[in-house]
Amino acid sequence: MPEISEQEINQQHLQQVNKALDSGLFVHARKLLQNMPAYDAALILESSPAKTRDIVWQLIDADLHGEILEELNEEVRKGILKSMRPEKVAAAAEGMDVDDVAEVLRTLPDSDYQEVLNSMDSQDRARVEAALSYDEESAGGIMNTDTITLRPDVTVDVVLRYLRLKGTLPEATDSFYVVDRHDLFIGAVSLSALVTAQPETNVSKLIDKEVQAIPADMPVTEVAQLFERHDWFSTPIIDQNGHLLGRITIDDVVDIIREEAEHSMMSMAGLGDEADTFAPVVKSARQRSIWLGVNLLTALLAVAVTSMFNDILSQLTILAILNSLVPSMGGVAGNQTLTLVIRGLALGHIGDSNSKNLLIKELAVGFLNGLLWALLIASVVGLWKQDLNLGLVIAVAMLMNLTAAGVAGVTIPLFLKKVNIDPALAGGVLLTTITDVVGIFAFLGTATLMLGN
């Protein structure tokens, strides 16, 4: 029997809930939602139009609100939080990880944000405020302060008795962090080392001082790269003076990687990575109109270049037919290079030390591809129209544009990165402009020189 994919399971859940709502079986819908994992309930909310979403949220047990808020994307979460009173948000935040509470609070208006903080007990409020003091794209912004610390001068027996009294461990605990009396980070003791050591052994003898602590201001993308490089499960976070602040676990890093992937994909279309699929029509139209406007301006630039060659176009109508071919090929070639470079920048493969080598390589690739396809299209057009000069014109233009596309595909993202503009967001529009303008100018300009009377 074939296995059912996760997407099919999610669609089944959505259909079951929608069917119950359409039939007025709200009690049944509530039971369905209560029996779902938080992630699946969040998908139901994200997959529902605004009116249905409000009903679904009201049917979900308030005890599950915190877990589900953690799983929602930012846009959907904002919409739901707008309908919640501050004390309800504070109640939902109880039991949530500190980094998740901080993420939720960042989406609230300032007045509600302060009310929610005031509704928390002093210990929780202090932890959340500590996380909120760091940039949300830094290690401190996603850290969890729920950690167990040890002193180096106690025995394993004392630690184990303390853990038995405590009864539970923080989620995803694989190590305990050792600090001195001033909370300065010393090292880590793995859970396996602790439970296999002799009871009378001092913690100081089990410390792994090679454990790398991450500064709280490190960007989250660098954190993800370190986890990937070292296969970490968790790592401690320290301030600039070496005091232990908290930890980051692998589940936080998986979220970072997923968000980066979504950001790159959505930015290619000029959309935010947290865009709500079922956002209101006016809001969606407004968000998309910005980049449509930018694209229109760049398209008008290409039209302006075309209009410079009206004379040759009026003499040879075949040029008007072939005019879109060269820019189209350049756009595809350029986007291949652009995607490769953006990926390389995201993974840390490209920097000042090797960008020149990459440029030379892509220049050579562009020239080689240009030569190949120039010869092919020249042969096709020459045989089709029985005109070798026309074939030569499109061959020269193809060679020029594919070479230019290779160079632009490298230089555009490198330049945008240097001026702190997201290459994934603006790179595609700039590249299309360059390949269109160069392609049209190369084709019609060469035609004017070789075929014009």
* HEC sequence for the chain: CCCCCHHHHHHHHHHHHHHHHHCCCHHHHHHHHHCCCHHHHHHHHHCCCHHHHHHHHHHCCHHHHHHHHHHCCHHHHHHHHHCCCHHHHHHHHCCCCHHHHHHHHHCCCHHHHHHHHHHCCHHHHHHHHHHHCCCCCEHHHHCECCCCEECCCCEHHHHHHHHHHHCCCCCCCCEEEEECCCCEEEEEEEHHHHHHCCCCCEHHHCCECCCCCEECCCEHHHHHHHHHHHCCCEEEEECCCCEEEEEEEHHHHHHHHHHHHHHHHHHCCCCCCCCCCCCCHHHHHHHHHHHHHHHHHHHHHHHHHHHCCHHHHHHCHHHHHHCCHHHHHHHHHHHHHHHHHHHHHHHCCCCCCCHHHHHHHHHHHHHHHHHHHHHHHHHHHHHHHCCHHHHHHHHHHHHHHHHHHHHHHHHHHHHHHHCCCCHHHHHHHHHHHHHHHHHHHHHHHHHHHHHCC
Quote the pLDDT of residue 5. Answer: 65
Mean pLDDT by 10 residues, the chain (453 residues): 63 81 85 86 84 87 85 82 81 76 76 75 74 84 85 91 87 89 91 90 89 90 86 90 90 79 60 58 64 65 71 67 79 86 78 85 90 87 80 87 90 88 78 86 82 64
Residue with the two structure tokens 């290690």: 139
Structural tokens at position 224:
């993800």
Asked if residue 309 lies in contact with residue 444, where contact means CB atoms within 8 angstroms, the answer is yes
Calpha distance 255→347 (Å, rounded): 16
Tell me if the domain spanning 6-135 has CATH number 1.25.60.10: yes
Calpha distance 105→84 (Å, rounded): 12
The amino acid that residue 195 corresponds to is: V
Asked if residue 431 lies in contact with residue 331, where contact means CB atoms within 8 angstroms, the answer is yes
The candidate with the shortest Cα–Cα distance to 90, out of 49, 53, 121, 111, is 121
Burial class of residue 192 (count of CB atoms within 10 Å of its CB; 0-12, 13-18, 19+): exposed
Calpha distance 179→170 (Å, rounded): 18
C-beta contacts of 226-232 below 8 A and 24+ residues apart: 227/253
Tell me if the domain spanning 281-451 has CATH number 1.10.357.20: yes
Class of domain 149-249: alpha beta
Quote the pLDDT of residue 1. Answer: 43
Asked if residue 147 lies in contact with residue 255, where contact means CB atoms within 8 angstroms, the answer is no
Parse the chain into domains and list their residue ranges: 6-135, 149-249, 281-451
Quote the pLDDT of residue 268. Answer: 56
Calpha distance 20→5 (Å, rounded): 23
Asked if residue 177 lies in contact with residue 147, where contact means CB atoms within 8 angstroms, the answer is yes
